[in-house]
Amino acid sequence: MKPLNRFPVRMALAVMISTLFVSTAVAEEGWLVDFEKAKAQAAKEGKPILMEFTGSDWCPPCKALHKNVLVKDIFKEEMPKHYILLKLDNPRDKSKQTDAEKAQYKELAREYKVTGVPSVFLADADGNPFFKSSGYSGQSADEWVEQMVGKSGIPKALAKAEKAKGIERAKLLDTALTMMGSKFANESHGGKIDEIINLDAENKAGLKVKYEGARKAAQFKETLTQIMRANGGAKSEALIAKVDELVKKEKATGELLQEALFIKSSIMFRDKKKDEAEKLLIEAQKAAPKSDTAKRIDGILKKFFGKKNSL
């Protein structure tokens, strides 16, 4: 696996300063604040890194994640067994941060293409990310920890695949990418998807169809995003009509239909039509009940609609 691109000289200098002045600092118990120190510790202990990009004193979802998950006993007990914890904070009040910490946040946010907080990345000891979780949708500490612990085996799965050939390699890569989740796999591991499709060119293992379908799903979701971006000032009826047109054109079912219904629900919720939004969310969840989006919907239903479980 190729290491993450090396940072420019100015970042290297910042890291040196960081090592001198904040190498022993921690954001709070169990967390490191220095990227290079986290990588060294990960290599020493044979663990991946969990890095949280946060805005601790201004971001409501960050505060909620901290309150509901990161300070809970289950997190403190379980996560250090599996990960080196790295907190990368971008508070409004930076009076307690060193110049090195400020520079480090800017550089790492650029390297990892962080567009919002909280963003949690799981990465190997070289800093190569293998999973990303954006935002916080109200999961319990138990649910959140279970999800992250379940991802900790991805680096070993990838390493195992590196030693295999042919269809066996395709199957091992499939195992690792499935653990990552389709969204992250499509965004960050397109080369591995190409390889799986080529290795199973005759679809004997069913992987060619699976990953071609995943690509189609990713393109569908991107088209939905483009519809929303390009029609920001449009009336809700016009937006929903465009979404319905896409669904009809692509004959969307399963997870594709789920994404479309989810978007339509968000439009209804924006218009304060909560009953319609709730119905669409439940319909979306039923379209693909085992998907990651279905789990996310369950959290939204609990938080905003008081639903214990819609299924």
3-state secondary structure of 87: strand
Residue 296's pLDDT is 87
Q: Is the pLDDT reported for residue 311 higher than 60?
A: no
Share of the chain above pLDDT 70, in %: 90
Neighbours of 9 (CB within 10 A): 8
- Where in the chain are all domains bearing CATH 3.40.30.10? 9-151
pTM for the full predicted model: 0.71
CATH 1.25.40 fits 231-305, yes or no: yes
Top-ranked range on mean pLDDT: pick from 20-24, 119-123, 253-257: 119-123
pLDDT band at 233 (very low <50, low <70, confident <90, very high): confident
Residues 86-99 pLDDT 10s? 999 999 999 999 99
- Closest Cα to residue 220, out of 118, 134, 293, 286? 293
DSSP run (H or E) holding 100: helix 99-111
Q: How far apart are CA 285 and CA 254, in angstroms?
A: 10
Strand pairing class (129-134; 119-123): antiparallel
Fold held by 9-151: Glutaredoxin (3.40.30)
- Where in the chain are all domains bearing CATH 1.25.40? 231-305
Q: Is the pLDDT reported for residue 124 higher than 90?
A: yes
Q: Is the pLDDT reported for residue 307 higher than 80?
A: no
Q: How far apart are CA 101 and CA 116, in angstroms?
A: 18
Q: How far apart are CA 29 and CA 25, in angstroms?
A: 10
Residue 235 has phi, psi (to 5 degrees) of: -70, 155
Across 258-277, average pLDDT:
94
Residue 28's pLDDT is 75
